[in-house]
Amino acid sequence: MTSLTAESTRATKPPLWTRLPVVHQLRQSIGLQRGMLVVGLIITGIFILTAIFAPLLAPYGFSQLRGDNGLFGAQRAPSGEHLLGTTVGGYDVLSRVIWGSQTAITVMIVAVLLSIFAGVALGLVSGYFGGWLDRVLVVVCDAVYAFPALLLAIVMGIVISGGRSDLIGGILAASISITVVFIPQYFRVIRAETVRIKAEAYVESARVLGASNARIMFRHVLRNATRTLPLIFTLNASEAVLTLAGLGFIGFGIEPSSAAEWGYDLNKSLSDVSSGIWWTSLFPGLAIVLVVLGITLVGESLNDLADPRLRSRRAPGKTAGVVAATSVVPGGTLAAGPGGIDGLEADLPAYDPHPIDDPFEAK
């Protein structure tokens, strides 16, 4: 969408900052949609700041068991000394919630970056060159995509860390496990865009002019194929947080002495709940919900704004020139739960529900 916007507004040339991805959408949005976007941006901002300033914000260390007055004690109710109480293991809940944001954001960034690089590279090569490699990759990615994401992440977790891990190992294991789940999503989107762009006139002309495949791929195709990436990025960022928490919950977490992880804390609070101890589970859980909510609100708003059918109407003229069917996820980003971008085919009833080239089709 950004490319279209840039083209259509070239005559008037608005200042650069208004054309930046999120800023542009913020100006374009109205009413409810703007509210959702703003709330999402605020929550996400708080999350990022918390992660950065965790050492300053947290009253204790994430693995600290004793303060000035000796041991914290286990399962203490919230009090002046421990605002959110202590866990069954004797850690301070508030500190672990704050430090947990750092773990979450690290895994999120590593996972999304890894999957963008791998997914984009594969999608570009597959879509551009086509042939048997393309078919094999499409079938493999479809198989992986159809598979329950969490199970795949579990298998990867076993492979990478054997199920238990220290800080770096744990973060890498979680990130790579999540990456494997995400690659098919980037692959599908980039491949589809590449196939479409490959047929454009400017690619033809570049080829006639003698441009190399690499140059066409990276300069002409890739640059135009990336418009949907910010959307998938936000989807996957929230999914990464959920997958990390899920992995932590079933015991692939990072050890409490190496880092704070919300899913792990929730798992340890499982037995507390039965005896009515609520503070050990409520706060880490709320942290997950808030972070995912914030990022999802941003992603959802960006997606809706990119889709003219979902965008709230406003006075004509202001949006002129930006109407292109660019929704990555028709039906909203929400369908993109841990199962992937399910909404991808949501409102295309006229087409095959599984948009792949059947290997049996081309005879």
Partner 1 sequence: MTAVAVKPSAPVGGRVSKKKTSPGGGIGRYLLVRFLLIFPTIFILVSMVFWLMRTTGDPITAALGAKLPPDQLAERIQAAGYDRPIIVQYFEYLGQVFTGNFGTTISTNRPVSEVLLTYGSATAELVFYALIVAFVIGIPLGMVAAYWRDKAPDAALRVFAILCYATPVFFAGLLLKLVFAVWLKVLPVAGRSTIGSELQLQSLPSPTGIYTIDALQTGDPAVLGDVLMHAVLPALALGLLTAGVFLRLVRTNVIGTLGTDYVNAARSRGVNEFRLVSKHAYRPALIPIITVIGLQIALLLGGAVLTETTFEWQGLGFMLIEFIKARDFVAVQGIVALLAVIVALSNFIVDIIAALIDPRVRY
Region 309-348 residues binding partner 1, contact defined as CB under 8 A? 309-310, 312, 325, 327-328, 330-332, 334-335, 337-340, 342-348
Rounded least distance, CB 114 to partner 1, Å? 17
Q: Which is nearer to partner 1, 225 or 259 (CB)?
A: 225
As given in the structure block, the two tokens for residue 37 are 């976007």
Rounded least distance, CB 20 to partner 1, Å? 24
- The residue within the footprint of partner 1, chosen from 269, 302, 305, 306 (CB under 8 A), is 269
Q: Which is nearer to partner 1, 45 or 162 (CB)?
A: 162
276 binds partner 1 (CB under 8 A): yes
- The residue within the footprint of partner 1, chosen from 23, 71, 133, 289 (CB under 8 A), is 289
Of residues 148-167, which lie at the interface with partner 1 (CB under 8 A)?
148-151, 154-156, 158-159, 162-163
Rounded least distance, CB 68 to partner 1, Å? 32
- The residue within the footprint of partner 1, chosen from 24, 82, 188, 268 (CB under 8 A), is 188
Rounded least distance, CB 9 to partner 1, Å? 24
Nearest by Cα to 338 from 213, 229, 222, 240: 240
C-alpha–C-alpha distance, residues 232 and 221, integer Å: 18
Q: Which is nearer to partner 1, 20 or 158 (CB)?
A: 158
Interface with partner 1: number of residues (CB under 8 A) = 96
Rounded least distance, CB 256 to partner 1, Å? 17
- The residue within the footprint of partner 1, chosen from 32, 71, 77, 168 (CB under 8 A), is 32
Rounded least distance, CB 251 to partner 1, Å? 7
- The residue within the footprint of partner 1, chosen from 105, 112, 222, 297 (CB under 8 A), is 297
Rounded least distance, CB 349 to partner 1, Å? 5
Q: Which is nearer to partner 1, 65 or 108 (CB)?
A: 108
Rounded least distance, CB 69 to partner 1, Å? 30
Q: Which is nearer to partner 1, 60 or 262 (CB)?
A: 262
68 binds partner 1 (CB under 8 A): no
Q: Give the pairing of strands 66-67 and 70-71.
A: antiparallel
3-state secondary structure the chain: CHHHHHHHCCCCCCCHHHHCHHHHHHHHCCHHHHHHHHHHHHHHHHHHHHHHCHHHHCCCCCCCCEECCEECCCCCCCCCCCCCCECCCCCEHHHHHHHHHHHHHHHHHHHHHHHHHHHHHHHHHHHHHCHHHHHHHHHHHHHHHHCCHHHHHHHHHHHHHCCCCCHHHHHHHHHHHHHHHHHHHHHHHHHHHHHHHHCCHHHHHHHHCCCCHHHHHHHHHHHHHHHHHHHHHHHHHHHHHHHHHHHHHHHHCCCCCCCCCHHHHHHHCHHHHHCCCCHHHHHHHHHHHHHHHHHHHHHHHHHHHHCCCCCCCCCCCCCCCCCCCCCCCCCCHHHCCCCCCHHHHCCCCCCCCCCCCCCCCCC
C-alpha–C-alpha distance, residues 87 and 76, integer Å: 7
Of residues 192-211, which lie at the interface with partner 1 (CB under 8 A)?
192-193, 195-196, 199
Q: Which is nearer to partner 1, 65 or 311 (CB)?
A: 311
- The residue within the footprint of partner 1, chosen from 3, 20, 31, 204 (CB under 8 A), is 31
